[in-house]
Structure 1
Amino acid sequence: MQLQYCFETMNKSCEKNNWSNTIRIPMYVFMASTILATMVGNLAVIISIAHFKQLHTPTNYLILSMATVDFLLGCLVMPYSMVRSVENCWYFGEIFCKIHTGTDIMLSTASIFHLSFISVDRYYAVCDPLRYKERINLYTVLTMIIASWVLPAIFAFGMIFLELNIKGSEEYFYNEVSCVGGCFVFFSETSGIVASMLSFFVPGFVMICIYGKIYIIARRQARSIKDSANQIQIHIDLDGNQQVYRSRERKAAKTLGTIMGVFLICWSPFFFSTATGPFVNYVIPPIVIDAFVWVGYLNSTFNPMVYAFFYMWFRRALKMILFGKVFKFDSSRTILYYE
């Protein structure tokens, strides 16, 4: 089969994928469906939390911000990545390539930053409930949200526009990787380690430790409640609200722990390959790296599904959105769950 190039009239043009329509069409269908599901699912989360006053809580503000990250990834990043993945060509210009790559890294990093702060929120809710409202107040949550957006933005755009991601491997990049009509997410040995540690490994390790601590405390509380119930039945009646509260907080921690687990599973292949690829002479084929990127994108698709599976309030809110009940007068005061 004759080779095709992204720009036939230009020297050193990237090679275009010569896949037949039997491969290209299913790829476009799968990726477009993923994009649509990501946008619709996260938009439903955004509308639910923004509309219903009962959902205006510190944890839900963090979830709202994270859903916004995932929604933006779906509408600003994934469509262009789809064309690049199927065609192996970039038709949108060199400057926009840098903007796209920076936005991609920023939003992916912002997701795990949000998850890190959510784990801190859950730690205080489960392990120190008496001081939870004092420690996790509106000011604290706003600080977490701002940090989750600003720090990844500075890191991502600074690295891409200053070309720190190729520093130390410039000769290899320009001779072996760079071509006209390409837009590659490339990391040198140093930048690959720094990016993987900052965006994935360090915050991921911190989250695992925090949720491990939450699990231990929650088990201890459950045993304590069970022992108290066995010894003094009246105690259950007098302290029922507190037990229900603890049970709800443990369930929330379990749910958000599941979300964290999905994130780690989805993004592990990409970040492991990013960290190790430069040290093994980039033997991992670009098509495999690209597949890892899309596995990572699926995390943003799965998050709303986790909410729908675990949270009754989200299922009720989603039903009201689908049937247009949110447009009714005073629908924002609807009780979606009982304390």
Structure 2
Amino acid sequence: MNLSQPWTVESFGLCFASLNDSCIKTVYSPVLRAPLYLLFTITIILIVFGNLWVICTISFFQQLHTPTNYLIVSMAVSDLLLGAFVMPPSMIRSLETCWYFGDFFCKFHSGTDFTLCNTSVLHLTFISIDRYYAVCQPLQYHSRMTTHVSVFMILVSWGFSAFFGFGIIFSELKIESQKSEEVHIACKGGCLALHGREIGVTYSIVFYFLPMFIIVSIYSRIFVIAQKHVCVINNYPTSSSSVTKKDLKATKTLAIVIGVFMSCWTPYFMCNIIDPVVNHTIPALLYEVLMWVAYLNAMFNPLIYAFFYSWFRGKSKLLYQKLFKLC
């Protein structure tokens, strides 16, 4: 996007005209802002209601209360909170190029953003472990992946993420040793969030690339074993295979969830790795664009469940009919 185009940038000003220490504001043309506000608003609505529907569908039917689905519900709660509480202020900050909600809410908003991002990564890590036992050690699956274990995984995901998310923000920990000038500028109307250069290479490696490496390694092992089970099931349909087609399909679908997550988030984290190498010359606008690409992941998961889980479509239809009758 070329900021020199007249239809893109209308003028430059101050976030707070009455303050001497106000941040500089970029005023985008209404031709650009209006459709983006509409697009972001529609995205937020789809994220909130899509994930709320996932939560309600699984929660309403007792037969769907499984350890795997508990993790799916918890991750849907994370995506729901992202859409409801993080994305609306982020939308205003991105399009108005100013933060109008105060310093404390800036820190709280950034801490929440950290927490929800970390929560999603940890949930996907635990889901990959769940799928490993379901496919690679099916005879031990029900004894090892119990409801209590699933709840423990959920508590660890949220607790660990909140501790580090809010801890990093409110302690004002500086992860990088060298900062760009942008980070040091203290002005009214600015708010450097999770998707900013201050989170650094260390955070990207420890909290994203390392878990993703673990997840990919586990799933690589899963699919090697899964191919063997598929051959057995196809060649000997009446054999007493300990892995069912349902388990294999669930593993494939959750692999798609992980693949979509990586597609959405990896470009942003790659920028964090590259930015120090190129002396922090990556444009701030590119960070904003990649931030919203990452946010889109929260909208895709309910769509994946709807397209690839027949049980989800069936139960969703049944839930809709029940709610329709009540109305």
Compute the TM-score of the two structures, normalised by the length of structure 1: 0.88
Letter in 1 for 2:103: E
The alignment's C-alpha RMSD in Å is: 1.9
SS at match of 1:199: helix
State how far apart, in whole Å, the 2-side matches of 1:277 and 1:95 are.
28
2:206 is the alignment partner of 1:198: yes
More helix by share: 1
| Structure 2 segments unaligned to the other structure (5+ residues) | 1-9
**CA positional deviation for 1:203:** 0.7
**Are 2:180 and 2:280, in contact at CA under 8 Å, matched by a contact in 1?**
no
Listed as ranges, the matches of 1:43-62 within 5 Å are: 43-62=52-71
State how far apart, in whole Å, the 2-side matches of 1:132 and 1:327 are.
39
SS at match of 1:11: coil
**CA positional deviation for 1:184:** 1.4
State how far apart, in whole Å, the 1-side matches of 2:234 and 2:320 are.
41
Listed as ranges, the matches of 1:1-339 within 5 Å are: 2-165=11-174, 168-169=177-178, 172-173=181-182, 175=184, 177-185=185-193, 186-188=196-198, 191-227=199-235, 229=236, 236-237=237-238, 239=240, 242=241, 246-325=244-323
**CA positional deviation for 1:326:** 7.8
Tell me whether 166-175 or 258-267 shows the greater mean CA deviation.
Answer: 166-175
Letter in 2 for 1:150: G
State how far apart, in whole Å, the 1-side matches of 2:197 and 2:112 are.
16
**Are 2:233 and 2:239, in contact at CA under 8 Å, matched by a contact in 1?**
no
Letter in 2 for 1:222: V
Matched length: 315
State how far apart, in whole Å, the 2-side matches of 1:291 and 1:249 are.
37
**Are 2:107 and 2:170, in contact at CA under 8 Å, matched by a contact in 1?**
yes
SS at match of 1:10: coil
Compute the TM-score of the two structures, normalised by the length of structure 2: 0.91
Letter in 2 for 1:131: Q
Tell me whether 94-103 or 177-186 shows the greater mean CA deviation.
Answer: 177-186
Letter in 2 for 1:123: Y
Change (3 A) 1:258 1:174: closer
**Are 2:175 and 2:200, in contact at CA under 8 Å, matched by a contact in 1?**
no
State how far apart, in whole Å, the 1-side matches of 2:205 and 2:324 are.
43
**CA positional deviation for 1:31:** 0.5
**Are 2:176 and 2:202, in contact at CA under 8 Å, matched by a contact in 1?**
no
In structure 2, the residue matched to 1:332 is none
* Cα-to-partner distance string for 1:74-99 (whole Å, 9 max, x where unaligned): 00100000000100010000110000
SS at match of 2:28: coil
